[in-house]
Chain A
Amino acid sequence: ELKVEQNPLFLSMQEGKNYTIYCNYSTTSDRLYWYRQDPGKSLESLFVLLSNGAVKQEGRLMASLDTKARLSTLHITAAVHDLSATYFCAVPTGNQFYFGTGTSLTVIP
């Protein structure tokens, strides 16, 4: 069974600051996905990383994948309140997807 660990689990940060969320996984995978979930809502796809070294950016969020280290990072630049949500990484093995337990981000004005 593939294990996916995110850290931190909870993150409170001030507006304008930078921070990184980490996603580690236990077995080989060449793909990784990041999702966002607002309270009481469904999940929304943020990034699809399909190869080693993949880097994708959207607004204040940038995700990267290092398949050799089995590590993905989600970097937040100059946080704003609208980024407050829970962020999940997901790693596939075959057609099965394993999700991390999520990082709950709160951006404080």
Chain B
Amino acid sequence: DAGITQSPRYKITETGRQVTLMCHQTWSHSYMFWYRQDLGHGLRLIYYSAAADITDKGEVPDGYVVSRSKTENFPLTLESATRSQTSVYFCASSEWTSGLEQYFGPGTRLTVT
């Protein structure tokens, strides 16, 4: 399917477990982003990537790890999930040629119990 997809769409996990959220885009966009959305905070950038093998921290990176071995994939891993990481996670991609307009995935709702 063309576009940007995220999996899983819903996930419930326990405190201390490792969780990986997947993001896949078919446009070959250079830039990819991970955000979390919480009530009262809008969207906050966790990590971003300007190209394969290039990643950088955003506003709230603690507790998260990313990798980008292929242009089209940008997985986000919570190494040891905490309740404060309960949130909706959005992946986005963009390209300089479109002014870095971001295209968002459908989101993953993560609950940490």
Q: What is the chain A residue whose CB lies nearest that of B105? A: A42
A-B contact pairs, 27 of them (CB 8 A): A4-B42, A31-B99, A33-B101, A33-B102, A41-B106, A42-B105, A42-B106, A43-B90, A43-B92, A45-B101, A48-B98, A48-B100, A48-B101, A90-B43, A92-B100, A96-B45, A96-B48, A96-B58, A96-B59, A97-B33, A98-B45, A98-B59, A99-B35, A99-B42, A99-B44, A100-B42, A101-B42
- CB contacts (< 8 Å) of B90 on chain A: these are 42-43
- Would you list the 4 A-B pairs with minimal beta carbon distance, nearest first? A99-B43, A101-B42, A99-B42, A43-B104
A91-109 contact mask (Cβ, 8 Å, vs B): 1 or 0:
0100111111110000000
Give how many B residues have a beta carbon under 8 Å from the other chain's beta carbons: 26
B37-65 contact mask (Cβ, 8 Å, vs A): 1 or 0:
00011111100101000001011000000
**A-binding residues in B (CB < 8 A):** 31, 33, 35, 40-45, 48, 50, 56, 58-59, 90, 92, 98-107
Q: What is the chain A residue whose CB lies nearest that of B43? A: A99
Dominant secondary structure of chain A at its interface with chain B: strand
**B-binding residues in A (CB < 8 A):** 1, 4, 31, 33, 35, 41-45, 48, 50, 88, 90, 92, 95-102
Q: Give the tally of cross-chain contacts (CB within 8 A).
A: 55
Contacts A33-B102, A48-B99 given: A95-B44 contact, CB under 8 Å?
A: no
- CB contacts (< 8 Å) of A98 on chain B: these are 45, 59
Assess whether B42 is in contact with A88, with CB atoms less than 8 Å apart: yes
Assess whether A102 is in contact with B42, with CB atoms less than 8 Å apart: yes
| CB < 8 Å neighbour of B45 from A41, A44, A50, A97 | A97
- Minimum C-beta distance from B70 to chain A (A): 19
Assess whether B104 is in contact with A95, with CB atoms less than 8 Å apart: no
| CB < 8 Å neighbour of A45 from B33, B41, B103 | B103
- Minimum C-beta distance from A75 to chain B (A): 20
Contacts A33-B101, A45-B103, A50-B99 given: A95-B42 contact, CB under 8 Å?
A: no
A53 to B56, CA, bound (A): 31
Contacts A42-B90, A101-B42 given: A95-B50 contact, CB under 8 Å?
A: yes
